[in-house]
Structure 1
């Protein structure tokens, strides 16, 4: 064969080629490609540096097919190239609800947001049935595939919510502006609200002016949860940070949220863990990242609830 021959050290049984990836992390990640003389080609990739589980999950958000393949789900594509109409979806939900099945679905609002996506993915990992309110159904379908039932609509539309809540036992609202629009929580057994009210109340000057609208929405959402006649959990977090979760402890002391911060990943996890403890009426607590290590979330939340009860 004409041209420069390959070094003998790169050759093995049946011609093969080994080489490192040429990206900036070539030392951390290496890829081996074995090319056989037949028609088949074997590709092997080895990563010396492991990325965190949450980082992998977030990668799957941006590359939906990877998420589906990871869980073994088939590719989902609308047959006609478009998403089914809401009316057809609602009719299907109504028929399913007529069976009076167990309300074990968790409804996540603002599923397009960072927090919404993190919550959805943690619920998927737990094997929970999830329904999500999203703005862009097509992108969400690419991200989550068959693991999430997607819906779009106006929270102030009673007809929409009545059908969206069919089969729903719990609602998680990670951002402001949803709960205050809900006129009826019929059938819902638990509402979980992530609130930034403590952060907004502690801000001053220009920041306070910028947060005025969000503060009003947060107040309305908390009031809506309290007056909903549904057991509620209001999680008042500190300032939300885009830092990795799972590397710090927590602080549940009163007043912590006004001064501290918490990673979005940790905040999302607390929202999911809160589903394990349904308070008799309501539970409100503050949390930031801190020094306290939590290994038993159900026990921790029971402790927080007892602390709230003792203060009354």
Structure 2
């Protein structure tokens, strides 16, 4: 297995890279700024320069990777086209590049509530709408996939336990980014994670369950 991570310098992406490195999985991390990437990411990660808005750069960057994890996301800005370009067009390019290069599994970090149009996050240039469109494009691509929809993201880890549910059943809650990274990487090893949407939050009162049980419970 060789992993390609898009959005590698983002808060969630860097944790995915760290989780992969900790498991001794070779990583190619997509960066736009090589120097920034070197400052943020583990030395064990191979950094490759590319842009999700440039399809040909993605094909070259993916190279011989066998799995792809996408943690891209539009940064808050006044640009109304940001979520469309990054969360939809960029994700679409990644799916097309993954198909062209023979990627065996595509793990996509999305968000809770993507199916709810009247959600406050859609005031940010319809960000959930474009994430949902990207999910649908991946689902129709023929690629084996796992779509991970986390709740509100926290930078600090905690001892809360992961709660996993099927699509459109969790509508609030939060989860540390470290746990999101763990779910994403674990999905590469669990056959029951294939071709599923999993929604995740973390709660202190939740029972401890192994990942095998969590993924197997999702229909």
What is the TM-score of this pair, normalised by structure 1? 0.57
Partner in structure 1 of residue 184 of structure 2: 271
What is the CA-CA distance between 1:238 and the residue it aligns to? 1.3
Partner in structure 1 of residue 163 of structure 2: 251
Q: Deviations over 1:139-169 (max 9, x none)?
A: 2224446411111222243322221221111
Q: How does 1:281-292 map to 2 (within 5 A)?
A: 282-290=195-203, 291-292=205-206
CA RMSD of aligned residues (A): 2.4
**Distance in structure 2 (CA, Å) of the matches to 1:105 and 1:221:** 23
Partner in structure 2 of residue 213 of structure 1: 126
Q: If you compute each CA radius of gyration, which structure gives the higher value, 1 or 2?
A: 1
What is the CA-CA distance between 1:202 and the residue it aligns to? 7.3
Relative to structure 1, the CA distance from residue 227 to residue 289 in structure 2 (aligned partners, 3 Å threshold; closer, same or farther) is: same
What is the CA-CA distance between 1:299 and the residue it aligns to? 4.0
Relative to structure 1, the CA distance from residue 189 to residue 116 in structure 2 (aligned partners, 3 Å threshold; closer, same or farther) is: same
**Distance in structure 2 (CA, Å) of the matches to 1:156 and 1:238:** 26
Q: Give the number of equivalent residue pairs.
A: 199
Q: Deviations over 1:237-291 (max 9, x none)?
A: 111123323x011222345531221111211211111111245961112111123
**Distance in structure 1 (CA, Å) of the matches to 2:182 and 2:193:** 22
**2:43 is the alignment partner of 1:129:** no
**Distance in structure 2 (CA, Å) of the matches to 1:166 and 1:195:** 24
Q: How does 1:9-20 map to 2 (within 5 A)?
A: none
What is the TM-score of this pair, normalised by structure 2? 0.79
Could you list the runs of 5+ residues in structure 1 that have no partner in the other structure?
1-103
Partner in structure 1 of residue 52 of structure 2: 155
**Distance in structure 1 (CA, Å) of the matches to 2:194 and 2:122:** 34
Partner in structure 2 of residue 235 of structure 1: 148
Q: Deviations over 1:170-192 (max 9, x none)?
A: 11112342322232423100000
Partner in structure 1 of residue 8 of structure 2: 111
Relative to structure 1, the CA distance from residue 120 to residue 203 in structure 2 (aligned partners, 3 Å threshold; closer, same or farther) is: farther
Q: How does 1:40-51 map to 2 (within 5 A)?
A: none
Instruction: Answer 1 or 2: higher relative contact order, Cα 8 Å, separation at least 6.
Output: 2
Runs of 4+ residues over 6 Å off in structure 1: none
